[in-house]
């Protein structure tokens, strides 16, 4: 084995850009780049809040997961109980279902996601788990499973209950989980209206309460919320030119503030930051020298999608270095660790990722090894 360190350096120079002091008129805010996971803006995002109708994101996730696993289907119908019906008559956001209705899972989901129907939440919860209380336990268990450590769900809709609480950081985790794991079903969140052919009356059409869907900025979700104690809230997602920003904010004083400030937050994120792709999962990083192998090179890859988001504000340097001790002695197994990809920002190491071998490389036979060794002694590493 002859040690040699090979270094590949890639420089990304970003443009100078000056931005003024920035603030969002809400007590709690968080903005994240979806691809890189970088938090771009944050204000008291760990404060305990009442998530209100943002709770319905988890209600939808539970149903989506069961659909994905084949435990239920969109065509399955659930019976509407009196408890569910009562929420359509008490001044809450409603889908306007009736006692004894048999409503499909798909219609209930659209009633929850688009019309924000509390009645639809209970009907779905009871249809899946037998009772809303049992369904809320499933919601909380799922929350813990995906990393929402400061959340408890006590109901499926988010109506006022001191035991139904969360934080913006947790709602951000939940929103990311929704988008990453259910891209097909997530399209329901971008629907601007839903028409329910209700029993005992004319069809009723309701618009999506997410104000960003009507702004032509690339918004495709996620969910509004309102409680008197918490005021107006919004979990939102905007995708532009292959880049997605996800935001959660709570405590807006008015609907107008929720719309205006949330749009301002996203536009600030797109204007003041760039997201740079370093590598895609399974994409070849480079070729690496092999010693005493039946092939002289082996390709390496990383298992991760690697993106970095850098603020445009002054000249910055993002440096990516691929390091390995080589040539790498055969035999080499497929998926064997062969190097490290290191990402530096302003000369500070910000992440590193294991590089794996793309292929198996067998060792040459004894006579070939002797010949290669003699060649190296005479001519060196050529």
DSSP labels for 175-202? HHHHHHH-TTGGGGGG-SEEEE--TTS-
Q: Tens-digit pLDDT profile for the chain (382 aa)?
A: 444 444 444 433 333 333 447 999 999 999 999 999 999 999 999 999 999 999 999 999 999 999 999 999 999 999 999 999 998 876 789 999 999 999 999 999 999 999 999 999 999 999 999 999 999 999 999 999 999 999 999 999 999 899 999 999 999 999 999 999 999 999 999 999 999 998 878 899 999 999 999 999 999 999 999 999 999 999 999 999 999 999 999 999 999 999 999 999 999 999 999 999 999 988 898 899 998 888 999 999 999 899 999 888 544 688 999 999 989 999 999 999 999 999 999 889 999 999 999 999 999 875 555 555 555 555 555 4
Topology of 28-252 in CATH? Beta-lactamase (3.40.710)
Question: What does the alpha-carbon distance between residue 226 and residue 229 come to, in Å, rounded to a whole number?
Answer: 9
Q: Where are the domains of the chain?
A: 5-14+278-379, 28-252
Specify the pLDDT at position 380.
57
Query: What's the pTM value of the predicted model, to 2 decimals?
Result: 0.87
Specify the pLDDT at position 59.
98
Spell out the residues 6+ positions from residue 52 whose beta carbon is closer than 8 angstroms to its own. Answer: 158, 225, 226, 227, 230, 233
Q: Which of 62, 70, 28 is nearest to 46 (CA)?
A: 28
Specify the pLDDT at position 299.
95
Question: What does the alpha-carbon distance between residue 350 and residue 30 come to, in Å, rounded to a whole number?
Answer: 21
Specify the pLDDT at position 382.
45
Q: Which of 315, 327, 294 is nearest to 2 (CA)?
A: 327
Q: What pairs with residue 339 in β-bridges?
A: 355
Specify the pLDDT at position 348.
92
Question: Which listed CATH number (2.60.40.10, 2.60.410.10, 2.60.40.420, 2.130.10.10) goes with 5-14+278-379?
Answer: 2.60.410.10
Catalytic residues: 53, 56, 116
Residue 29 has φ and ψ, to the nearest 5°, of -150, 145
Is 233 within 8 Å of 51 (Cβ atoms)?
yes
Is 252 within 8 Å of 258 (Cβ atoms)?
yes
* Structural tokens at position 225: 């919320």
Specify the pLDDT at position 373.
59
């Amino acid at each position: 084995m002859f040690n040699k360190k090979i270094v590949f350096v890639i420089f990304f120079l970003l443009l100078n850009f000056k931005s003024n002091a920035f603030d969002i008129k809400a007590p709690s805010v968080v903005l994240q780049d979806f691809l890189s996971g970088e938090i771009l803006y944050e204000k008291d995002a760990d404060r305990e809040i009442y998530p209100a109708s943002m709770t319905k994101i988890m209600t939808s996730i539970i149903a989506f997961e069961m659909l994905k696993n084949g435990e239920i289907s969109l065509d399955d119908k659930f019976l509407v109980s009196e408890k569910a019906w009562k929420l359509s008559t008490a001044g809450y956001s409603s889908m306007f279902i009736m006692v004894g209705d048999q409503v499909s899972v798909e219609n209930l989901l659209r009633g929850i996601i688009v019309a924000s129907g509390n009645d639809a939440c209970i009907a779905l919860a009871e249809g899946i788990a037998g009772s809303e209380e049992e369904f809320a336990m499933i919601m909380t268990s799922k929350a813990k499973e995906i990393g929402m450590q400061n959340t408890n769900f006590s109901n499926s809709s988010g109506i006022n209950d001191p035991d139904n609480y969360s934080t913006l950081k947790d709602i951000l985790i939940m929103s990311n989980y929704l988008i990453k794991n259910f891209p097909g079903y997530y399209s329901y969140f971008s629907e601007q209206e839903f028409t329910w052919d209700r029993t005992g009356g004319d069809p009723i059409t309701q618009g999506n309460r997410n104000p960003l869907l009507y702004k032509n900025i690339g918004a495709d979700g996620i969910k509004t919320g309102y409680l008197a104690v918490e005021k107006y809230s919004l979990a939102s997602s905007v995708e532009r030119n292959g880049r997605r920003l996800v935001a959660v904010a709570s405590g807006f004083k008015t609907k107008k503030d929720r719309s205006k400030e949330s749009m301002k937050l996203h536009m600030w994120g797109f204007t003041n930051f760039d997201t740079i792709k370093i590598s895609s999962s399974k994409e070849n990083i480079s070729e690496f020298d092999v010693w005493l192998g039946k092939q002289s090179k082996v390709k390496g890859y990383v298992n991760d999608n690697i993106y970095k988001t850098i603020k445009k504000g002054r000249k910055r340097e993002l440096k990516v270095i691929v390091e390995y001790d080589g040539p790498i002695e055969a035999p080499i197994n497929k998926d064997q660790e062969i190097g490290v990809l290191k990402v530096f920002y302003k000369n500070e190491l910000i992440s590193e990722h294991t590089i794996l071998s793309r292929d198996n490389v067998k060792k040459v036979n004894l006579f070939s090894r002797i010949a290669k060794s003699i060649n190296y002694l005479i001519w060196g590493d050529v």
